[in-house]
Amino acid sequence: MVSENAIVIKDLRKSFKDVVVLEGIDFVVRRGTVFALLGPNGAGKTTTVRILSTLLPPDSGQITVNGYDVVREGDKVRASIGLSGQFAAVDEYLTGFENLEMMGQLYRLNLAQSRSRSQELLEQFELVDAAARPVKTYSGGMRRRLDLAASLVAKPPILFLDEPTTGLDPRSRLVMWNIIKELVAGGTTILLTTQYLDEADQLADRIVVIDVGKVIAEGSSDELKQQVGGERLELTVAQAADFERACQVIDGEMLHTDPESRTISLVSKQGMKQFKQILDRLDDADIEVEDLSLRRPTLDDVFLALTGHGAVKEADEEGKAVGVDAR
Ligand SMILES: Nc1ncnc2c1ncn2[C@@H]1O[C@H](COP(=O)(O)OP(=O)(O)OP(=O)(O)O)[C@@H](O)[C@H]1O
Ligand SMILES: [Mg+2]
């Protein structure tokens, strides 16, 4: 059976004892697209991925992956997916090649198939030079790439990536982004979780924002940006002594003020005209503006507007939640 949607979630609920973690989540992922589950620490991203990949049973809700029910047809779901968890699940003491070869055998490929697939993946993920070294000598970025390669041995049509770039440096992030783009171009459906707004912005066709177990917004990156409307004007007051006064002059339209950097940001639905009036008022009050910029809203602004707080980014060690070993 081939359904148009790769993943369908209806009213998914999950609690751990009396702690409610998912409070009725709904979303649909279309085939051949990248879907981002965006949310801060503890939002419920990993819990959702674990339920989708059958590592954890839902309390209630209807959840299908590749047209199969995650509760009743777990085997078929597992045969349809690849999973790269939040914490790399590769074996430290085996080499990169051995890790992939072992994965091939778990998927019942014969030795020749398993070796050729491993070689192919090592080339695709730029790990050929490190293939014969034990993984414990790998950098964080190399481990992540190997972990992702391991989830692709069986060429699954649907891939779950739980925070694929957390902890990576900017270059390694770009490498990972390119790999993800290539996989999608090849027809794979990808659900990824991220705390990084720019990542969702860059990669995802559709974004669901979750916060404390609830969907708080959904749409394409552009649609989400439209929800908070208008351009942002950021201005820096030249003299610290004028900052308070400037805030009073602008009063009513401020979005964010930071006395330390003497910056004020405003959102406007009337655009340039309104900004000009504000600048005129500051000028009349003899307040000098040192720097001025106009920009379109970012996903960060969206998050702030929706949740009242920014997207927290610090790492949170909750243990090895997800591993490919569960198959
Ligand atoms: N096995 C468990 N037992 C009890 N509570 C749990 C368990 N797993 C997750 N939780 C709780 O559920 C909530 C959501 O956790 P989850 O790991 O899904 O968040 P997350 O969005 O992946 O966060 P992060 O960005 O930190 O990875 C957290 O409050 C967490 O403490
Ligand atoms: Mg997580």
- What phi and psi, each to the nearest 5 degrees, are found at residue 206? -140, 145
Q: Which residues line ligand 1 (CB under 6 A)?
A: 16, 19, 21, 39, 41-47, 86, 195, 316, 318
Q: Is residue 182 in some structural domain?
A: yes
Rounded to two decimals, the pTM is 0.81
- What phi and psi, each to the nearest 5 degrees, are found at residue 130? -100, 5
Provide the residue type at 23 as one letter: E
Residues 96, 215 within the same domain: yes
Q: Is residue 302 in some structural domain?
A: no
Residues 242, 218 within the same domain: no
Locate 196 and state its tokens: 């990084």
Coil/strand/helix, residue 309: coil
Residues 289, 152 within the same domain: no
The number of domains in the chain is 2
Q: Is residue 121 in some structural domain?
A: yes
Residues 207, 251 within the same domain: no
- Mutation test of ligand 1: which of 13, 14, 21, 316 has the most ligand atoms closer than 8 Å to its C-beta? 21
Q: Report which secondary-structure segment, H or E, holds 178.
A: helix 170-185
pLDDT at 2: 63
Q: Is residue 303 in some structural domain?
A: no
Locate 164 and state its tokens: 């694929």
Tell me the C-alpha distance between 170 and 164, whole Å.
13
**Would you say 34 and 201 are in contact if contact means Cβ atoms under 8 Å apart?**
no
* Residue 52 alpha carbon to ligand 2 centre in Å: 14
pLDDT at 323: 30
| Site of tokens 């969702």 | 200
* Residue 247 alpha carbon to ligand 1 centre in Å: 40
Locate 62 and state its tokens: 């209807």
Q: Is 173 left (phi over 0), alpha (psi -120 to 50) or beta?
A: alpha
pLDDT at 55: 93
Residues 234, 136 within the same domain: no
Domain encompassing residue 236: 230-296
Locate 175 and state its tokens: 């490498």
| CA-proximal residue: ligand 1, atom 16 (nearest) | 44
* Residue 63, beta-bridge partner list: 9
Residues 235, 218 within the same domain: no
| CA-proximal residue: ligand 1, atom 29 (nearest) | 42
- Mutation test of ligand 1: which of 212, 314, 318, 320 has the most ligand atoms closer than 8 Å to its C-beta? 318
Of 229, 223, 199, residue with least CA distance to 311:
199
Which residues have their alpha-adjacent CB atom under 5 A from ion ligand 2? 45-46, 86
Tell me the C-alpha distance between 165 and 147, whole Å.
12
- Mutation test of ligand 1: which of 20, 22, 41, 46 has the most ligand atoms closer than 8 Å to its C-beta? 46
Residue 239: CATH number of its domain: 3.30.70.100
Give burial (CB, 10 Å; 0-12/13-18/19+) of 74: middle
What atom of ligand 1 comes closest to residue 49's alpha carbon?
18
Residues 77, 195 within the same domain: yes
- What phi and psi, each to the nearest 5 degrees, are found at residue 112? -65, -45
Of 228, 313, 316, residue with least CA distance to 265:
228
The residues, any chain, with a CB within 8 Å of residue 94's CB and separated by 6 or more, are 102, 134, 135
**Would you say 23 and 29 are in contact if contact means Cβ atoms under 8 Å apart?**
no
Residues 180, 80 within the same domain: yes
* Residue 311 alpha carbon to ligand 1 centre in Å: 16
Give burial (CB, 10 Å; 0-12/13-18/19+) of 29: buried
pLDDT at 1: 54
| Ligand closest to the CA atom of residue 315 | 1
Residues 240, 168 within the same domain: no
Q: Is residue 301 in some structural domain?
A: no
* Residue 4 alpha carbon to ligand 2 centre in Å: 28
Residues 48, 173 within the same domain: yes
Residue 138: CATH number of its domain: 3.40.50.300
* Residue 161, beta-bridge partner list: 84, 192
pLDDT at 297: 81
Q: Is residue 305 in some structural domain?
A: no
User: What is each CA distance from 36 to 83, 189, 217, 223, 304, in whole angstroms?
Assistant: 15, 11, 12, 14, 18
Q: Is residue 217 in some structural domain?
A: yes
* Residue 41 alpha carbon to ligand 2 centre in Å: 7
Give percent helix, percent strand, percent coil of the chain, each to the nearest 5.
Answer: 35, 30, 35
Residues 318, 272 within the same domain: no
Q: Is residue 306 in some structural domain?
A: no
Tell me the C-alpha distance between 89 and 193, whole Å.
17
**Would you say 12 and 30 are in contact if contact means Cβ atoms under 8 Å apart?**
no
Tell me the C-alpha distance between 27 and 275, whole Å.
39
Residues 286, 194 within the same domain: no
Question: Residue-wise pLDDT tens for the chain (327 aa)?
Answer: 567 899 999 999 999 999 999 999 999 999 999 999 998 888 999 999 999 999 999 999 999 999 999 999 999 999 999 998 877 778 999 999 999 999 898 888 899 999 999 999 999 889 999 999 999 999 988 998 999 999 988 889 999 999 998 888 888 889 889 989 999 999 999 999 998 888 999 999 999 999 889 999 999 998 888 877 778 888 999 999 999 999 988 876 666 788 999 999 887 767 778 788 888 999 999 999 999 888 888 877 787 777 766 554 333 333 333 333 332
* Residue 42 alpha carbon to ligand 2 centre in Å: 7
